Amino acid sequence: MFERLRAGLGRSRSQLSEGLASLVLGKKQLDPALMEEIEEQLIMADLGLETSARVLELLRQRLDRKSLSATETVMSALKATLVELLMDQEQPLTTEGHRPFVILVVGVNGAGKTTTIGKLAHRYQQEGRSVMLAAGDTFRAAAVEQLEAWGQRHDVPVVAQHTGADSASVLYDALQAATARGVDILIADTAGRLQNKSHLMDELAKVVRVMRKQNPAVPHETLLVLDAGTGQNAVSQALEFDQTVGITGVAVTKLDGTARGGVLFAIANKLKRPIRFIGIGEKAEDLRDFSAQDFVDGLLDDQ
């Protein structure tokens, strides 16, 4: 499984690891010139200015705290620093304690929301949980059809209405149906929102308000799906969605198709919300629980 993760992060590893390797190979001290070069590499790998500066500060503190042993290098200290940066966001999603457990999936068009929903539903089915889907992206006919086709193929009920129907109404009906049937997990799709279109974001807030009229505790998880390939724009998306609906978890998708996987560090540093899942391929098992250590190991080769 780790080799699959490593392969999925191949482009990002080439961007980050190879550049750093030429700088720090065998080095055991951190001088100002090396610090500057490392920072440039981190920025080029899409960590962003603020996150790169924080990594360098944590690295400096780590190296100041102790003398490196014979087997330790600047690279091993950097890997430990990057893991430390992500550890607080390593919080797997638990779906116990509520029935139905409601997962509201949000994000912009093209981020991979519908695909992520299918993979999550497959995962919970494999665990023996009953699942229902709500086709709340009523603005895009293909999204409703995609969910309905997936539901038919895997014998998962899908609550849907016609294209252009009120999304809040669809999700309200779905919650009512899931509650009545005693379904374990309800996963609700929403229309892709551009974070700079305030009226669309207002509609998303309305969806949440309407669902809460039926059950004030829902959604139990508001999962933001971000496409790693959008780089630093994913960070601004995350902050805007969080302000509108209160993000409780993040799935970073399409890591296998981009060299910009370093943006995950910026998302973790700026948003400070749990990273639940990362997507490294098309198969259902390619939506993985996030592990800080595995992610950093997959990005950086030992030097």
Q: Given pLDDT bands bounded at 50, 70 and 90, which one contains residue 23?
A: confident
More confident of the two residues 217 and 164: 217
Predicted confidence at residue 194, as pLDDT, reads 66
Residue 7 has pLDDT above 70, yes or no: yes
Average pLDDT score over residue span 72-101: 92
Predicted confidence at residue 280, as pLDDT, reads 94
CA angle 278, 168, 196 (to 5 degrees): 60
Q: Given pLDDT bands bounded at 50, 70 and 90, which one contains residue 66?
A: low
Predicted confidence at residue 72, as pLDDT, reads 66
Average pLDDT score over residue span 45-73: 83
| Full-model pTM | 0.94
Q: Given pLDDT bands bounded at 50, 70 and 90, which one contains residue 272?
A: very high
Predicted confidence at residue 162, as pLDDT, reads 86
Q: What tens digit of pLDDT does each residue of 107-160 get? A: 998 899 999 999 999 999 999 999 999 999 988 878 899 899 989 988 999 999
First to last CA, the chain: 22
Q: Given pLDDT bands bounded at 50, 70 and 90, which one contains residue 197?
A: low
